[in-house]
Structure 1
């Protein structure tokens, strides 16, 4: 992936990892469009930055995605990079029969959302030079956090889907997976100050350095996430499940 001269569309771009990466890609000389549900946070993200724009979209709503894609392609026909970054995370107790609303909303947002958004843009991207799709998964795609089972499962599903997408688009669109570790953001309440989580600024700096490698790795893995990514292949899976369950 080239890291300048792109027109980049990033969902979940109004806060956390999405906002930080959007601004850093903008600093590298890209036109960047951030998208999300909350207009105020999107406006704050782009404020004072020329060639940085915002659009609203609800990644859990099929009609919203369709309208968003139509608007995005009409206003920004040079889009050649799509970063599917929007997602939600909730803790769950699944040891007893209960409402499945959290599971349903998590899977719709975190799995169907990026699938639907990719589907809305893939034909356009196939016609663009230097086209890229980046899907944000998680270290929890490889070792689940047992207190967030639906989130972990959703990221495992997106990882698998990304592997298939990469093969089907080989030679047409570069497909990259971004798998963060636990990062200090507000993905969950109190997470931005949690000891042991990676500072957002440090995470974003390392991610950008990995994107700048030639060739760009198919998986963007900072050092902090390799404990999870490599757990199964290194025979540490059960131990890793137990270890992060205590966090």
Structure 2
């Protein structure tokens, strides 16, 4: 993919990985629109010369409004990145966790599907374009503190595979970004020293994205252990190690 001349919507790009991608793609020469709920952040992003649109992926009407606004201003849109997501801890012994689970599924899975559905007719009519979905290493190697988050990202992976098969031959590609732990703030770096710096991560991602042909899965070096744990026979051991984090839950 030529990342110097794309027209890109990043749904959920007002912070973290999405914002870093928006800045790097803009610097590379692409036109970028960032969608998000936080009006204050959108204002700051617009001041950087990046396009913005209000977008709440959990609200179907908001997705439709954002689609109409983006296509009116950027009729040559050819790339849609479904970055919006929430990552929350749950204690499944607490019946109240179901509200958290519903929020995660509403945003991470249904939000992804809503955004894809909104822009599929446009990309099909163009006969070319790319959806970039965002799963997670946790979708392949569970982190038991975040059961529904992992399930939602495993679902995004499965949806991406089926979407790619259904769109085969249309000119519309489906690329799945699989992030490992990525530190997007100093607090996150302190909490997880092994997390990859967001700048380093996005640089590696854009190198993969710019490859010809672009791989179906964007797998940076540090996520390989997650992605291939079952194949490599390390799955059970790694899940057991990651389960030690459950001791941090109250009453454990």
Pair in the same fold by TM > 0.5 = yes
Q: TM-score range by the shorter chain?
A: over 0.9
8 Å CA contact 1:9–1:32 kept in 2: the answer is yes
Match of 2:144 in 1: 146
Structure 1 residue ranges without an equivalent (≥5): none
Match of 1:7 in 2: 7
RMSD across aligned positions (CA): 1.5
Match of 1:175 in 2: 174
Higher mean displacement: 55-64 or 172-181: 55-64
Structure 2 residue ranges without an equivalent (≥5): 246-252
Task: Kindly indicate whether residue 170 of structure 2 is the aligned counterpart of residue 190 of structure 1.
Answer: no
Task: Kindly indicate whether residue 232 of structure 2 is the aligned counterpart of residue 234 of structure 1.
Answer: yes
8 Å CA contact 2:91–2:97 kept in 1: the answer is no
Looking at structure 2, the residues matched to 221 and 99 of structure 1 have their Cα atoms a distance apart, in angstroms, of 31
Specify the SS of the correspondent of 1:143.
coil
Count of residues in correspondence between the two structures: 243
**Which structure has more helix as a fraction of its residues?**
2
When residues 44 and 81 of structure 1 are mapped into structure 2, their CA distance, relative to the original with a 3 A threshold, is: same
Looking at structure 2, the residues matched to 66 and 48 of structure 1 have their Cα atoms a distance apart, in angstroms, of 25
Match of 2:221 in 1: 223
| TM-score w.r.t. length of structure 1 | 0.94
- The Cα offsets for residues 31-69 of structure 1, whole Å up to 9 and x where unpaired, read as 1000011122123234233xx200011111111111111
Looking at structure 2, the residues matched to 105 and 69 of structure 1 have their Cα atoms a distance apart, in angstroms, of 22
Match of 2:250 in 1: none
Structure 1 runs (4+) greater than 3 angstroms displaced: none
The partner residue of 1:60 within 55, 58, 61 is 58
The partner residue of 1:80 within 58, 75, 78 is 78
Looking at structure 2, the residues matched to 122 and 69 of structure 1 have their Cα atoms a distance apart, in angstroms, of 11
